[in-house]
Each structure stands twice: as C-alpha cells, then as structure tokens.
Amino acid sequence: MDISVVIPLLNEEESLQELHDWIATVMQSNRYFYEIIFIDDGSTDNSWKEIQQISEKNKAVKGIRFQRNFGKSQALDAGFEMATGAVVITMDADLQDNPDEIPELYNLIIKEDYDLISGWKKKRYDNVITKNIPSKLFNAAARKTSGLKLHDFNCGLKAYKNEVIKTVKVSGEMHRYIPVLAKNEGFTKIGEKVVQHQARKYGVTKFGLDRFINGFLDLITISFLSKFGKRPMHIFGLLGTFMFLFGITSAFYIGIVKLYKVYNGIKTILITDNPWFYIALTSMILGTLLFLAGFIGELVIKTKTNEKHYSIKEKVNF
C-alpha cells in the first residue's frame, strides 16, 4: 500500500462525495495503490450513509463510525491504527485541504526521507479576527515552546511515515501537536510545505475561539510532558525533597532557638504561636505529597497500557 488518506469528519455529508472523487482522481492519475479511511466522529447528519454508499462503489474506501462524538484526536488515532500505507496523509473533510498536494507530500516522505511533513496554509480564506490572528499567536507560542520552526501546527493536511503514526499516540486534543509528539519520540526530520487553502464550500466550521484557549492549555501540558512525562520523579521528587528539607530545617531552627531562650531564662513564646512553625509544617507536608506524586507517577508510567479513548459503532471495508 502506497498511501493511506485518513479523514476525520463531523457532519460533512455535502462534501464527502466530491472529496472522494477528487482524491480518487489524484491517486489514479499517479497510479498509487491507496486507501481512504473516513472516521465519522459521531455525525448527526447523513455522513455515515454517504460513506457507506461511496465504499460500495470503491473498495479502497473504508469507514469507521464512532458511537458518539469523541473529538478529532480520537478520530485520528483510530484512523492511524487502521492505516496500512507506507505514507499516511491526513486532511479535513470540508474541502479546505487540497488533494492535489498529495503527490508532492508523498515524494517528500519517500524520496527525501522526511519523517513528517506539516502543511502551511500561508494564504488563508478564514475570518481574520476569529481565526487568522489567534492562529498566528498560537503558532508563535507553539514554536517558542516546542522548538519546532513550523508556521501552522494546526493544519489538517500532513504527511507521515507509517512508523510515525504507529508510534505516536494521540488523545485528548493533542492532534494540534502531533509534530511535537513525533519529535518527543525521536523522529527529528520534520519539514513543512506551503499548501493551498480553500474557502469552505459547504456547512459551517465546527471549531470556535475556545479551540485556541484549549490549544494554549494543551501546549503547556505537552511542554511539561515532553520534559518530565517519562520521569515525573525528576520534577516532583526534586521539589518535594527541597520543600521537605526547608520545612524540617526551619522546624529544627525554631526548636533550637526555643531551647536556647529557655536555658538562658529569656522570655519566649510558645512554638505553636510562632508563624514559622506553621510554615515549616506546611512545607514538610507539601514536600511529602509532592514526593509521593512523583513516586506514583513513576509507577503509573511503568504499568500503564495503551488505552483507547473512543468506542467504534461500526466499520465498512475492514
């Protein structure tokens, strides 16, 4: 199998046939051996019926239908698990991603040996206020945090070596950061290609401004996980040890000062009336809790299994 095209979707019934025909034309003209995997992420329109009808005519078309809406990351993860192509290409189902980009993306992976190519919608046809400006701010923060010099982390049009998508696990809302996840797994040859962006032809966008808020929160999460996700004791254990030592040192100091004053007949207050006593006690408790958090984190990492965060209702052509 040369190419697997993975397409997550939610309520995109109007565009599916047109998108399929466009992809199929590109594949056939380049003589690629391909499959198209549609993942219906809990659509409430006739998207699944469209996928079934398309798959009856073209056996290269496969479909996965979720029990309910689980999110784009879960949809991509399900598609990645099923994909068999040497190159896996993701795109959105709203016709804003151009299938004519597929041959060049494929060549960059196969001939130039890139692990991952991320699309860059340099010229966009979205609303400037609600999408373009927030997107630029988000991407600037992502570049600074991750160290990857990509202009458009959230572009749906990307190409991967098969081993990349079989290694990276996508959950939550981490689909925006697949290049960062890939980098953290040791795939370092990550490139970028300017791709054509097209105005939405049917329906309305499924994302609002909240995706940028969630995106920044996820960025903080993935930045932390990339540094300490596989060794939580290095951060929690260190902080916990520091706070516990600070607390117990303070407690010893308070006790020594108290004993000195009592021995020399100097008037003094009760230890429990000294605010430093409570600071020391709180530091020791927090230090112990942080150390235990790091220890438990290490146990979780060593015993965790790859859990699926979605449930599939039905499939076609698998």
pLDDT of 306 above 60: no
Write the DSSP symbol of residue 236: I
Mean per-residue pLDDT for 111-121? Answer: 95
Mean pLDDT for the chain overall: 87
269: Cβ contacts below 8 Å, ≥ 6 apart: none
Mean per-residue pLDDT for 131-149? Answer: 79
> Which of 121-151 are b and which e, b meaning 16 or more Cβ less than 10 Å from the residue's Cβ?
beebeeeeeebeebbeebbebbeebbebebb
Q: For domain 3-228, give the CATH number.
A: 3.90.550.10
SS3 68: coil
52: Cβ contacts below 8 Å, ≥ 6 apart: 63, 316
pLDDT of 62 above 90: yes
Q: How far apart are CA 117 and CA 270, in angstroms?
A: 67
pLDDT top residue among 34 and 316: 34
In what order do the strands lie in the sheet containing 61-66? 190-194, 116-120, 158-161, 87-90, 3-9, 34-40, 61-66, 312-316
**Which amino acid belongs to residue 310?**
Y
> Beta 190-194 vs 158-161: how paired, if at all?
unpaired
- Closest CA relative to residue 168, chosen from 228, 225, 111: 225
SS3 32: coil
pLDDT of res. 304: 59
- pLDDT tens string 37-51: 999 999 999 999 999
Q: How far apart are CA 317 and CA 314, in angstroms?
A: 10
- Closest CA relative to residue 75, chosen from 99, 43, 49, 50: 43
- Residues making up the chain, counted from first to last: 318
| pLDDT range class, residue 168, cuts 50, 70, 90 | very high
Q: How far apart are CA 274 and CA 144, in angstroms?
A: 45
Tokens in use for 11? 């309520």
> Beta 116-120 vs 158-161: how paired, if at all?
antiparallel
SS3 314: strand
| pLDDT range class, residue 246, cuts 50, 70, 90 | very high
Tokens in use for 193? 């290609």
Mean per-residue pLDDT for 110-128? Answer: 84
Domain ranges, ordered by start, for the chain: 3-228, 233-303
Predicted TM-score of the model (pTM): 0.75
- Partners of residue 97 on adjacent β-strands: 197
pLDDT of 53 above 90: yes
pLDDT of res. 211: 62
pLDDT of 231 above 80: no
Highest mean pLDDT among 144-153, 219-228, 237-246: 237-246
| pLDDT range class, residue 17, cuts 50, 70, 90 | very high
pLDDT of res. 271: 85
Is residue 134 within 8 A of residue 210, CB to CB? The reply is no
pLDDT of 54 above 60: yes
Q: How far apart are CA 317 and CA 306, in angstroms?
A: 25
Q: How far apart are CA 112 and CA 101, in angstroms?
A: 16
Q: How far apart are CA 176 and CA 156, in angstroms?
A: 9
SS3 62: strand
Please give the share of the chain, as a percent, with pLDDT higher than 70: 87
- pLDDT tens string 198-215: 877 776 666 555 666 766
Tokens in use for 87? 């190159």
pLDDT of res. 206: 60
